[in-house]
Amino acid sequence: MFRQDWLQRQMKALTELVARVATLLRNGQPEEVMAIVRDESTRILGADESVLAVVDERTVFVLLGDDPARVVRYAALLGLEADAIEAMGDEARATRLRARAESLSAAALERAEVSAARSR
């Protein structure tokens, strides 16, 4: 029950964040989005986004406590950052960020499935 409530709160917070970012991007404020991503990375993940950005996928998992849900949240933040970067005109960097976000999300899903299978 507690885990489900926690998950619902996290999903609500992420939904609100995405809506706020979309508004900022529509209003031509990608720099503000970048600041939000940095702040949210620290607040939600308990890790500095600048550190997560330079380490490999395996290390991201280690730094985030090998928690697939936290990795998915980080991947979502990367996607938002990619939107801001693209709005600032750097499509190549945005593409790299999206690829990293997709790779991390896929790895997190795979780990979650393996973990669920083990607990059966």
Q: What is the pLDDT of residues 48-101, one digit of tens each?
A: 778 888 999 999 999 998 988 889 889 998 999 999 999 999 999 999 999 999
- Judge whether residue 103 has pLDDT over 90: yes
The token pair that represents 49 in the structure block: 């986004």
Long-range CB contacts (within 8 A, 24+) of 20-28: 21/80, 21/83, 21/84, 25/83, 25/84, 25/87, 28/87
The token pair that represents 20 in the structure block: 């706020």
pLDDT tens, 2-34?
A: 556 766 777 787 888 889 999 999 999 999 999
CA distance 55 to 91: 22
Domain ranges of the chain: 2-118
What pLDDT is attached to residue 3? 59
For the chain, what percent of residues have pLDDT higher than 70? 93
The token pair that represents 34 in the structure block: 């970048």
